[in-house]
Amino acid sequence: MKILDVDQIRALDQYTIQHEPIAPINLMERAAQAFVDWYTARFDKGRQVRIFCGLGNNGGDGLAIARLLLQLDYTVHTYIVRYAPRESEDCMINHKRLKLIATVNYLENDNDIPVIRHNDVVIDAILGSGLSRPTEGIIRTVIEALNFSPATVISVDIASGLNANAPNGAGTTIVEPDYTVTFQLPKLGFMLPTNSRFVGEWHVVDIGLSRQFMDRANTVYYYTTTKEIRHLLRHRDRFSNKGTFGHALIFAGSYGKIGAAVLASRACLRSGVGLLTVHSPGCGYSILQTTVPEAMCRPDDHAELLTGYSKVKGTEPEKYDAVGIGPGIGKAPETLSMLKNLLDKVKKPMVIDADALNLLAENRDLIPKLPKNSILTPHPKEFERLTRRWTSDYDKLGILREFTQRHHVIVILKGAHTAVALPDGSVHFNSTGNPGMSTGGTGDVLTGVLTALLAQGYDPVEAAVLGVYEHGHAGDRAASRRGQVGLTALDLVDGLRWE
């Protein structure tokens, strides 16, 4: 699913109007009906609805929504915020239509704002995505009242005051909705941490905008859904064997952190790898042999950390189908030497996580040695160490895209809507996962998943997008069984289902 900017969405509307063809007022009606369908599936008629409308097309949407809900016998109170002398043409049409069947209230000063109660549902249709200046005057006062109210707040398309594709202006007051019901495509602003309280739980409703235009539209931002994942996931041939699905090598663990190696190994096996070898410190040998009997264990010569040397003779790292490194390995000088040696030898894409990323950050001369299309999996702080501090989430996206293009690597920047940034400059935001995954070890699980996919021959781009989606999906399955609060990384391993 593409993420388009405000100008592209406006052009998409116009293209649909011209080529469907459909009158603008009828397209507005279609959008309002889509919102109402979403609303009536979730809220009953026992709650009063208070709809706050602006004077532009977002306000026109709100007025049409009010009329449609009234026709379904909902109790609706409608308010128009008079912040300018004129309405848009389509807003005016819906204003007149609504006045034929109901009273419309007008807000011009503080005293006009109604009392909003706990059981009310407030629908915010004041400004929409066309905002180009900070909120002020009566708009600001109304928004502050909505935010202070105890009601459930739902924004139409986008929260009033929120900039859809740029940092919010200083001094801007923004609606803080419980839900945002957006039309046709998500907004870039929905994906960013700083906007979380201005978005709430968001949903996309289809209003029939031109598929042809969307297919042709240029963008670097995408949103990964189940539909895309179905095209990536491979089905197994009846006559396949363990050799068909690759042999992976994972470097993980140090004294006190062998659990990281266990989690990465179990996730790798649960993700379909044919064979797995784990290189861990000597102190991890018995633990791994006991907890992950399906894996082969190659103990390091050092009892407590990784040096890369082992008395167990076997295939050199560059001979494996995929190599993952990082979970729990620490930052000892001997481990740094091992990483340098690996980067000299291994030319296939690798999975780089955790302390391996921190070693790169402290030795940036190693970054250019990363094999092309390697997958790096930092959380925001680890990525900041690799690059620099950012001034906003939009600046962070710019740094992310520049880093992946300059070094020709894939970066998975972890968090809500994890961003998978590719060497071509595109960014794919993920749709799965939940806050319960904010616990130690879930990143180790992701390392195992990604290493397994590379070993099976998935293209690194496919492996990154698919692995992040399925990792989040496993977290969602686990949360549905156990709840988010008590979720553990091992629950994610158990939640992996490749169907």
Give the domain CATH number at 153: 3.40.50.10260
Q: Is the pLDDT of residue 185 over 90?
A: yes
Q: How confident is the model at residue 339 (pLDDT cuts 50, 70, 90)?
A: very high
Average pLDDT over residues 33-62: 98
The model's pTM is: 0.96
Instruction: Output the domain CATH number for residue 384.
Output: 3.40.1190.20
pLDDT band at 170 (very low <50, low <70, confident <90, very high): confident
Mean pLDDT of 204-231: 97
Confidence of residue 381 (pLDDT cuts 50, 70, 90): very high
Mean per-residue pLDDT over the chain, rounded: 97
pLDDT of the residue at 296: 97
Beta-carbon count within 10 A of 300 CB? 27
Distance, CA of 14 to CA of 9 (rounded, Å): 9
Is 434 contained in some domain? yes
Decide if 4 is inside a domain.
Answer: no
| Residues 136, 268 share a domain | no
Least confident of 170-174, 266-270, 277-281, 293-297: 170-174
Asked if residue 12 belongs to a domain, the reply is: no
Q: Do both 179 and 249 map to the same domain? A: no
pLDDT value of position 82: 96
In a domain, 406, yes or no: yes
pLDDT exceeding 70 applies to what percent of the chain? Answer: 99
Domain membership of residue 245 (yes or no) is yes
The per-residue pLDDT for 133 is 67
Please say if the pLDDT value at position 314 is more than 80: no
Mean pLDDT, residues 182-207 taken together: 97
Residue at a domain's end among 188, 213, 238? 213
Based on the fold, state whether residues 207 and 233 are members of the same structural domain: no
pLDDT level of residue 20 (50, 70, 90 thresholds): very high
Higher-confidence position of 302 and 311:
302
Do both 102 and 241 map to the same domain?
no
314 in any annotated domain: yes
Same domain? 405 vs 281: yes
Asked whether the predicted pLDDT for residue 6 surpasses 80, the reply is: yes
Q: Mean per-residue pLDDT for 253-280?
A: 98
Residue 8 lies inside a defined structural domain of this protein: no
Q: What percent of the chain has pLDDT over 90?
A: 96
Per-residue pLDDT at 487 exceeds 70: yes
Structural domain range at position 406: 229-495
Number of compact structural domains in the chain: 2
pLDDT 10s digits, 112-157: 999 999 999 999 999 988 666 678 999 999 999 999 999 999 999 9
The answer to whether residues 315 and 234 belong to one domain is yes
Do residue 242 and residue 206 come from a single domain?
no
90 within some domain: yes
Angle at 376 between CA 279 and CA 198, to 5 degrees: 135
Res 422 pLDDT > 70:
yes
SS (H, E, C) the chain: CECCCHHHHHHHHHHHHHHCCCCHHHHHHHHHHHHHHHHHCCCCCCCCEEEEECCCHHHHHHHHHHHHHHHCCCCEEEEEECCCCCCCHHHHHHHHHHHCCCCEEEECCHHHCCCCCCCCEEEEECCHHHCCCCCCHHHHHHHHHHHHCCCEEEEECCCCCCCCCCCCCCCCCCCCCCEEEEECCCCHHHHCHHHHHHCCEEEEECCCCCHHHHHHCCCCEEEECHHHHHHHCCCCCCCCCHHHHCEEEEECCCCCCHHHHHHHHHHHHHCCCCEEEEEECHHHHHHHHHHCCCCEEEECCCCCCCCCCCCCCCCCHHHCCEEEECCCCCCCHHHHHHHHHHHHHCCCCEEECHHHHHHHHHCHHHHHHCCCCCEECCCHHHHHHHCCCCCCHHHHHHHHHHHHHHHCCEEEECCCCCEEECCCCCEEEECCCCHHHCCCCHHHHHHHHHHHHHHCCCCHHHHHHHHHHHHHHHHHHHHHHHCCCCCCHHHHHHHCCCC
115 and 36: one domain?
yes
CA distance 446 to 61: 42
**Are 375 and 316 in a shared domain?**
yes
